[in-house]
Amino acid sequence: MDKTNIDDQLTFKFKNGWNCIDDSTHDEVFKFSEEYKDFLDKGKTERECTKEIIKRVKKNGYKDIELFINGEEKIVPGAKIYANNKEKSVVLFVIGAEDIERGMKVVAAHIDSPRLDLKAFPLYEDGGLALLKTHYYGGIKKYQWTAIPLAFHGVVMTKNGEKIEIVVGEDENDPVFYITDLLPHLAKNQQDKKLSEGISGEGLNILTGNIPCKNEDIKDPVKYNILKLLKDKYAIEEKDFLTAEIEVVPAIKAKDVGLDRSMIGAYGQDDRVCAYTALKAILEISNPKNTAVTILVDKEEIGSVGNTGMQSRFFENLVAELIALQSEQFSDLKVRRALANSKVLSADVGCGFDPNYPDVVDKRNVAYIGKGVLVSKYTGARGKSGSNDANVEFVYEVGKIFDENNVVWQVGELGKVDQGGGGTIAYILANYGAEVIDCGVPLLSMHAPAEISSKIDIYMTYKAYKAFFK
Ligand code: MN
Ligand code: MN
Look at the alpha carbons of 77, 298, 88, 114 in this order and tell me if their dihedral is positive or negative: negative
DSSP secondary structure letters along 22-89:
-HHHHHHHHHHHHHHHHHHHH-SSHHHHHHHHHHHHHHTT-EEHHHHHTTSS---TT-EEEEEETTTE
Query: Is 261 contained in some domain?
Result: no
Query: Is 34 contained in some domain?
Result: yes
As a whole number of angstroms, the distance between CA 148 and CA 162 comes to: 32
Non-local CB neighbours of 257 within 8 Å, separated by 6+ positions: 263, 264, 265, 452
Residues 197 and 291 in one domain: no
CB 278 within 8 A of CB 93: no
CA of 107 to the centre of ligand 1 (A): 14
CA of 376 to the centre of ligand 1 (A): 13
Ligand in nearest proximity to the CA of 109: 1
pLDDT of res. 249: 98
Ligand in nearest proximity to the CA of 111: 1
Ligand in nearest proximity to the CA of 348: 1
Query: Is 109 contained in some domain?
Result: yes
As a whole number of angstroms, the distance between CA 330 and CA 44 comes to: 39
User: pTM score, two decimals?
Assistant: 0.96
The three-state secondary structure class of 104 is: strand
Residues 102 and 161 in one domain: no
CA of 348 to the centre of ligand 1 (A): 5
CA of 242 to the centre of ligand 1 (A): 29
Residues 142 and 289 in one domain: no
**Residues with pLDDT less than 50, the chain:** 1
Residues 109 and 120 in one domain: no
Residues 183 and 314 in one domain: no
CA of 237 to the centre of ligand 2 (A): 34
Query: Is 411 contained in some domain?
Result: yes
Residues 122 and 242 in one domain: yes
Ligand in nearest proximity to the CA of 114: 2
Q: What is the CATH number of the domain that holds 124?
A: 2.30.250.10
Residues 208 and 331 in one domain: no
CB 455 within 8 A of CB 262: yes
CA of 446 to the centre of ligand 1 (A): 9
Query: Is 325 contained in some domain?
Result: yes
CA of 316 to the centre of ligand 2 (A): 24
* Cα-based distances in Å from 279 to 190, 264, 287: 44, 19, 16
As a whole number of angstroms, the distance between CA 60 and CA 278 comes to: 15
Ligand in nearest proximity to the CA of 446: 2
CA of 279 to the centre of ligand 1 (A): 16
Query: Domain tally for the chain?
Result: 2
Residues 293 and 246 in one domain: no
Domain end among 250, 283, 299:
250
Domain end among 208, 223, 250:
250
Residues paired with 374 in a beta bridge: 410, 440
CB 274 within 8 A of CB 462: no
Residues 66 and 120 in one domain: no
pLDDT of res. 23: 96
Q: What is the CATH number of the domain that holds 334?
A: 3.40.630.10
pLDDT of res. 1: 46
Non-local CB neighbours of 58 within 8 Å, separated by 6+ positions: 82
CA of 270 to the centre of ligand 2 (A): 5
Residue 339: CB atoms within 10 Å: 23
As a whole number of angstroms, the distance between CA 110 and CA 295 comes to: 8
CA of 407 to the centre of ligand 1 (A): 22
Domain end among 225, 250, 275:
250
Residues 146 and 175 in one domain: yes
CA of 110 to the centre of ligand 1 (A): 7
Residue 386: which region, alpha, beta or left (left: phi > 0; alpha: psi -120 to 50)?
left
CB 36 within 8 A of CB 56: no
* Cα-based distances in Å from 142 to 138, 146, 449: 11, 8, 10
CB 269 within 8 A of CB 453: yes
**397 CB-side CA count, 13 A:** 14
Phi, psi angle pair for 41, to nearest 5°: -70, -30
State the DSSP code for 15: P
CA of 1 to the centre of ligand 2 (A): 48
Ligand in nearest proximity to the CA of 448: 2
Residues 193 and 226 in one domain: yes
CA of 271 to the centre of ligand 2 (A): 7
pLDDT of res. 9: 77
Query: Is 290 contained in some domain?
Result: yes
Ligand in nearest proximity to the CA of 272: 1
CA of 276 to the centre of ligand 1 (A): 13
CB 298 within 8 A of CB 304: no
CA of 165 to the centre of ligand 1 (A): 26
Residues 93 and 158 in one domain: no
Q: Which domain holds residue 14?
A: 3-113+267-469
CA of 367 to the centre of ligand 1 (A): 16
Q: pLDDT (tens digit, 9 = 90+) per residue, 270-280?
A: 999 999 999 99
pLDDT of res. 6: 66
Ligand in nearest proximity to the CA of 275: 1
